[in-house]
Amino acid sequence: MAAQPDGAGLTHPSAFAGLAGERVDLLPARRFGCGIRHHMAGHTLRPARCGKAFSMGQLRGLIQHFIPQHYFVLSHRFFPFRVWRAAILHPRLLYSNVYNTIRSGILMRSFMLRCRLLCSSSLMLSLLGVGLATPLAVSGQAAAQPAHPAAGPGAHVVAQAVATMPTVNNIPVYPRTVTDMSGASVALDKSAANIADLWFAHNEITVMLGGAERIKVSADKPADLPWLFKVAPMLRSAETGVHPDSVNPEDLLNRHIGLVFVPTHAKAEELRKTGLPTLDAHYTTLPQMLTSVDMTADALATPYAHEIASEYRQKLEALQQSLHARTVSLPASARPRVLHIARLNPLQIDGKDTLIDAWIQAAGGRNAAAEVSGNHRPVTFEQIAAWNPDMIVIGANAGPLAADAPLRTLAAFQNGKAWTNPQGVFPWDRYGCEVLLQLEWAAQHVQPELFKDIDVRRDLKAFYKQFFRYSLTDDDVTRILADQPPMVL
């Protein structure tokens, strides 16, 4: 195996805490990877059966080549003296043999499992849950570390993946039975550790509830939702872009998928007939969304998922009550008519009986297309002109608006009352959990005098920290609010 050039691959400082200035031995672990022995001396990498020494930069390249996902180190609370670091975890394989020297000086083999699957991610999650292992990169510490000057295209991915993973109470408990949004009872067993999330909007809910690394098949793609894959980089190892209408049940079964989320009752029934435990997660109102979040937490079957679902419910309900208290006395004449454009070419709008209608009303507005029911309803420019909305919100993924588009002649554009919706992990205006942020953003735009005190930038940072375990920079916030992708993926 050839080493990558010095400085290549992963270079986040926190991912190599304790290694600088120390000798590390590379031990053979069959053909699946390598073990790393940490001697607290020197600063070279010495492969067994080979006299060549590698620099720390080359070590980074070797590790990046073999291990694309997560780093963990045994906690010093339990092994306070010499520890031979580190455990290197992939969702499917543990590529290292980890040895630990404990107080008595006895060498203990922790994960010397001589088989194809050296260590499963569920075992490591169990160790995390009881405190015997902790992530090597901690979000707060990682954020405080300066970027390495030689960072390559793959830099920070591992540190980000670890930093955004829940570290405690994330051990699933099966078997259990879950009732989906259509009322169907679905039995789940330990195979539910492998998830196919086939609803675009639902993936971020699974991520929010701590299930990102369990998603093996996703409807979303990095090109479409770059912030999702930025916040949860472990999704890059999943099969992406798999739509519910075109999914192959046999392929899911071959991937040992034990839990599937879909947006319709009909698709859930169809997949259940093939032997796939499938849940309909669909919702059209804010109360239904909270029920779906709770259902998802039940399906993930972890204390962490239930804790986050509860926190999310409390936060959303408190915001709804606050908005209602300020807007309840507004007469119809003081409620602007807001049109939400879902797509520009061809023209499509969102009417009543939708989550879009819910946040328009909660923000103190009226849906200008209230005579239409449902999402993505086709419409002509002449109909929009007849409605003559006071305000227009263009969906984050509606497409570009041409400079000479007829829409620009409408009063809403002429009066500066037309905006493009923000998009983060998912478009705020649609059916993801960031609708909580959408409520704030919409309230500030629809009723600016009533909601001067809302600080969307501050609350956006707090939301990502609490629910996605991710620290946004000021530039990140600016880009999300402007519907722009991350500067660096």
DSSP character string of 8-51: -S---GGGGTTTTTS-EEEEEBTBS-EEEEE-SSSS-EEETT--
Is residue 438 domain-resident?
A: yes
Helices (H), 328-392: 355-362, 381-387
> Do residue 343 and residue 234 come from a single domain?
no
One domain, residues 103 and 201: no
pLDDT at 100: 29
Residue 215 lies in a domain: yes
Distance, CA of 435 to CA of 439 (rounded, Å): 6
- Mean pLDDT (10-residue bins), the chain, 489 residues: 33 32 33 35 35 44 40 32 32 30 27 29 42 37 37 46 62 95 98 97 97 96 96 95 96 98 98 98 95 98 96 97 97 97 96 96 97 96 97 94 95 97 96 97 97 97 97 97 91
Q: Give, rounded to a whole angstrom, the gap between the first and last alpha carbons of the chain.
A: 28
Is the distance from CB of 139 to CB of 164 less than 8 angstroms?
yes
Examine the domain organization and report whether 158 and 184 are in the same domain.
no
Q: Which residue has the tokens 């960072």?
A: 151
416 shares its domain with 349: yes
135 and 17 within one domain: yes
Residue 315 lies in a domain: no
Among the three residues 111, 133, 163, which one is the final residue of a domain in this structure? 163
- Looking at the fold, whether 413 and 304 belong to one and the same domain comes out as no
Q: Would 2 be classed as within a structural domain?
A: no
Number of domains in the chain: 3
Q: Output the six-digit token pair for 21.
A: 């200035």
* The two structure tokens encoding residue 376: 């993505």
- Among 310, 340, 371, the domain boundary falls at 310
- Tell me whether residue 487 is in a domain: no
What CATH code is carried by the domain that includes residue 370? 3.40.50.1980
Question: What is the Cα–Cα distance from 402 to 410, expressed in whole angstroms?
Answer: 14
Q: Are residues 284 and 369 in the same domain?
A: no
Sign of CA dihedral 270, 273, 278, 283: positive
State which amino acid sits at residue 207.
V
Report how far residue 273's alpha carbon sits from residue 271's, in angstroms, rounded to the nearest whole number: 5
pTM above 0.75, yes or no: no
Q: How far apart are CA 134 and CA 167, in angstroms?
A: 7
Question: Domain check: are 223 and 286 in the same one?
Answer: yes
Please name which of 386, 366, 369 lies closest in space to residue 377, comparing C-alpha atoms: 369
367 and 452 together in one domain? yes
- pLDDT computed for residue 488 by the predictor: 79
- Could you tell me if 22 and 114 lie in one domain? yes
Instruction: Show which of 283, 310, 337 is a domain's final residue.
Output: 310
Q: Confirm whether 473 is domain-assigned.
A: yes
Q: What is the pLDDT of residue 15?
A: 32
pLDDT of the residue at 116? 26
Domain that holds residue 293: 176-310
